[in-house]
């Protein structure tokens, strides 16, 4: 089984040929993979058991980012995203990063936070002391709601007590969720310890729910890119030398560090990569988004999740963010495409999945900054966007590429121009 992630010319293959290549590389059974991807993987009657008032299924493109190497292992990275150029850009940036040794990733910490709110606490200081003194008892009580998690090596690990003022004390239960995202697990444990915590604090019991600001479950990714690899060339000619591109990216990073308006867009570029992997693997992207942006604002000022610095002739990128992902439980159990995505990636733990998703985020960020710091985003973006516009105008099969080229060359990427181009092609 050869797990590589470099497939030159992959984009030129048909969908069937691409499936064949990735199955061969990752050891997947092509029949199983094809079946999983047919029709988006979920049938209406299964969907009807997942959520309420189901009318049908909503499809999105499922692609794969190439060239990704994380901690010395090649990964095929499944991405579900509707925006043209995200997958190509991540693959292209991953190739530059690969030349500098690939991504180095690890979990900085791996604990989920569940909160128990206590209010109308008459003496907060003594409540905090009492709750801390009963830490072991609360952990043991939480463990009784942990189900099979303890046998899998996880479970409640720590109790933290925070005095919020205004009669309010909150207990944080920190839980090692192993390969589960863990929302249901930690909510259950918070509900289990809630009444006893309220009794100890002599307060009223409020909410018992996880925190999506899971800043104790953080992933850290670092990469090194040689200046030469950043060179922007067109038709064999250097348009912007790598050294200049490197400085432009460092300046772009500084801009995001100085300005929350820019930081939001910078982080959106990171989430292009992260969310696409989160969606492909059936994980909760709303939770990931909430955590990422709350973490970005943790200092009181919204900041970039990834920063870029010069190190001699190299560019160093570093990303740290909270990421609560699972490879077991939840929607994953019923969604064949999510299972196929995990198999394609060959991740064996939730932490490996987080490391790959964050690497896709850092690659997406690099691709966006490199484009923005040189010729601007529109050139690459709009030529790919032209295909969607061609489809919206009714182009089919080979017409899509022909119409897209026509409107891109004319610099008229809109549905009216695409309809006219389509009519010309059909009349020719
Ligand atoms: C577009 O989806 C993402 C970008 O706006 C990110 C950025 O500006 O860094 C290009």
Q: Give the pLDDT confidence score for residue 77 in this predicted structure.
A: 98
Least confident of 62-66, 241-245, 382-386, 422-426: 382-386
Confidence of residue 1 (pLDDT cuts 50, 70, 90): very low
What radius of gyration do the chain's Cα atoms show? 24
**Average confidence (pLDDT) over 94-108:** 98
Instruction: Give the position, in ligand 1's atom list, of the atom nearest the Cα of 272.
Output: 2
Q: Give the pLDDT confidence score for residue 39 in this predicted structure.
A: 76
pLDDT digit string (tens) for 47-78?
Answer: 999 999 999 999 999 999 999 999 999 999 99
Residue nearest to atom 4 of ligand 1 (CA): 269
163 is catalytic: no
Q: How far is CA 412 from CA 83, 383, 404, in A?
A: 19, 10, 10
Residue nearest to atom 1 of ligand 1 (CA): 269
176 is catalytic: no
Q: 55 C-alpha vs ligand 1 centroid, how far in Å?
A: 33
> Active site residue: 134, 381, 399, 419, which one?
381
Q: 269 C-alpha vs ligand 1 centroid, how far in Å?
A: 4
Residue nearest to atom 9 of ligand 1 (CA): 266
48 is catalytic: no
Q: At which residue do the structure tokens 């925006």 appear?
A: 83
Q: At which residue do the structure tokens 């009807």 appear?
A: 48
Nearest of 7, 90, 78, 4 to residue 41 by alpha carbon: 78
What mean pLDDT is reported for the chain? 95
Tell me the backbone φ, ψ of residue 112, rounded to 5 degrees.
Answer: -90, 145
12 is catalytic: no
Q: Which of 265, 306, 307, 378 to mutate to test the pocket of ligand 1 (most atoms within 8 A of CB)?
A: 265
pLDDT digit string (tens) for 388-406?
Answer: 899 999 999 999 989 998 9
Give residue ranges with CB within 6 A of ligand 1.
Answer: 83, 265-266, 268-269, 272, 368-369, 372, 377
> Active site residue: 32, 191, 268, 318, which one?
268
Percent of the chain whose pLDDT exceeds 70: 99
Residue nearest to atom 10 of ligand 1 (CA): 368
**Average confidence (pLDDT) over 341-363:** 97
Instruction: Give the position, in ligand 1's atom list, of the atom nearest the Cα of 365.
Output: 9
pLDDT digit string (tens) for 405-428?
Answer: 899 888 888 999 999 999 999 998
Residue nearest to atom 6 of ligand 1 (CA): 269
Instruction: Give the position, in ligand 1's atom list, of the atom nearest the Cα of 256.
Output: 9
d(CA 353, CA 229): 27
Q: 403 C-alpha vs ligand 1 centroid, how far in Å?
A: 26
Nearest of 153, 165, 369, 156 to residue 253 by alpha carbon: 369
Cβ proximity of 368 and 86 under 8 Å: no
Q: Give the pLDDT confidence score for residue 38 in this predicted structure.
A: 87
Indicate whether 2 pLDDT > 60: no
pLDDT digit string (tens) for 303-323?
Answer: 999 999 999 999 999 999 999
Q: Give the pLDDT confidence score for residue 3 in this predicted structure.
A: 58
Confidence of residue 7 (pLDDT cuts 50, 70, 90): very high
> Active site residue: 20, 32, 83, 375, which one?
83
pLDDT digit string (tens) for 163-195?
Answer: 999 999 999 999 999 999 999 999 999 999 999
All domains of the chain, ordered by start, with CATH?
10-104+224-376 (3.90.770.10), 112-210 (3.30.70.420), 380-427 (no CATH)
pLDDT digit string (tens) for 41-53?
Answer: 888 999 999 999 9
């Amino acid at each position: 089984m050869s797990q590589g992630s470099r497939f030159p010319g992959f984009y030129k293959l048909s969908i069937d040929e691409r499936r064949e290549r990735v199955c061969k590389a990752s050891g997947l059974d092509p029949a199983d993979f094809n079946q999983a991807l047919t029709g988006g993987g979920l049938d209406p009657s299964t969907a009807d058991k997942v959520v309420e008032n189901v009318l049908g299924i909503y499809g999105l493109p499922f692609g794969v980012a190439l060239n990704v190497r994380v901690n010395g292992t090649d990964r095929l990275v499944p991405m579900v995203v509707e925006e043209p150029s995200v997958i190509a850009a991540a693959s292209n940036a991953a190739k530059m990063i690969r030349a500098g040794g690939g991504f180095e990733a690890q979990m900085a910490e791996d604990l989920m936070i569940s909160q128990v709110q206590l209010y109308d606490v008459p003496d907060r200081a003594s409540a905090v002391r009492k709750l801390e003194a009963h830490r072991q008892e609360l952990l043991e009580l939480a463990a009784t709601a942990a189900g099979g998690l303890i046998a899998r090596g996880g479970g409640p690990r720590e109790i933290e007590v925070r005095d919020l003022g205004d009669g309010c004390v909150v207990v944080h239960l920190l839980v090692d969720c192993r390969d589960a995202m863990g929302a249901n697990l930690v909510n259950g444990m918070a509900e289990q310890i809630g009444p006893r915590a309220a009794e100890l604090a002599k307060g009223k019991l409020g909410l018992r729910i996880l925190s999506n600001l899971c800043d104790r479950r953080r992933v850290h990714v670092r990469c090194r890119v040689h200046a030469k690899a950043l060179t922007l060339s067109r038709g064999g000619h250097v348009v912007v030398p790598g050294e200049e591109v490197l400085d432009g990216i460092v300046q772009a990073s500084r801009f995001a560090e100085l300005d929350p308006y820019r930081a939001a867009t910078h982080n959106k570029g990171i989430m292009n990569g992260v969310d696409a992997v989160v969606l492909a693997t059936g994980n909760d992207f709303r939770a990931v988004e909430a955590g990422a942006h709350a973490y970005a604002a943790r200092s009181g000022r919204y900041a970039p999740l990834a920063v870029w610095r010069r190190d001699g002739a190299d560019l160093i990128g570093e990303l740290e963010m909270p990421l609560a992902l699972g490879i077991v439980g939840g929607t994953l159990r019923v969604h064949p495409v999510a299972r196929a995505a995990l198999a394609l990636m060959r991740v064996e733990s939730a932490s490996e999945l987080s490391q790959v998703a964050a690497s896709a985020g850092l690659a997406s960020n690099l691709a966006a900054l490199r484009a923005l710091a040189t010729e601007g985003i529109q050139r690459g973006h709009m030529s790919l966007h032209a295909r969607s516009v061609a489809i919206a105008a009714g182009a089919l099969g080979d017409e899509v590429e022909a119409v897209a080229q026509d409107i891109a060359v004319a610099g008229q990427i809109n549905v009216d121009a695409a309809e006219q181009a389509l009519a010309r092609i059909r009349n020719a």
